[in-house]
Amino acid sequence: MNIAVIIGVVDGETRDEAMRAALGLTLRGASVRVCVGDPGATLGPESQRARATLTLMGHQVDQPGAIAGAIGPADAVEIWGPVGLAPSLQPPGRLTHLVRPGRQAACPTRDEPVLHLPPVLDRDDAERILDQLLAGGPVAVW
């Protein structure tokens, strides 16, 4: 499975978390392409380590831009924060919003499902959620 991880305009901590999550997706055998959509973003030490590991493993990390190139061939798209996609670049399918504890989805539209994660998640629940998300359409992570 080809997964595009699009990191929009987010704070450094969220950017680090998104990069670690991209690395985690590779552990399930996915081919990952990461695109940092914020041209002003600076990768901190954790993001730089994740980027180096992804690159070493043969995955592509673009910074900045190249969002259209990342979304086009992807089987699934994970979006972290606002990315300002033009309507012609919207990922195909129905967008699911995955909301981490203490956050809220910025603006789900249409009949898009919103899944609020509990503060504590056991491994089995986390595996089931990840499997369902990977099997579905694109996901926006908040």
pTM of the shown model: 0.61
Give the full edge-to-edge strand order of the sheet including 139-141: 60-62, 31-36, 2-7, 76-80, 139-141, 96-99, 114-116
In order, the DSSP letters of 66-99 are -HHHHHTT-SEEEEES-----GGGPPSS--EEEE
The tally of domains found in the chain comes to 1
What is the average pLDDT across 32-60?
A: 88
| Residue 55 clears pLDDT 90, i.e. is over it | yes
Cα 75 to the chain's mean position, in Å? 13
pLDDT tens digit string along 110-135? 666 677 777 777 777 777 777 767 66
Domain of 108 in residue numbering reads as 2-141
DSSP state of 64: S
Residue with tokens 């798209």: 77
Residue with tokens 């089987």: 75
Domain harbouring 102, CATH code: 3.40.50
Look at residue 89 in the predicted model and tell me its pLDDT: 44
Q: Please tell me the least confidently modeled range out of 16-20, 62-66, 89-93.
A: 89-93
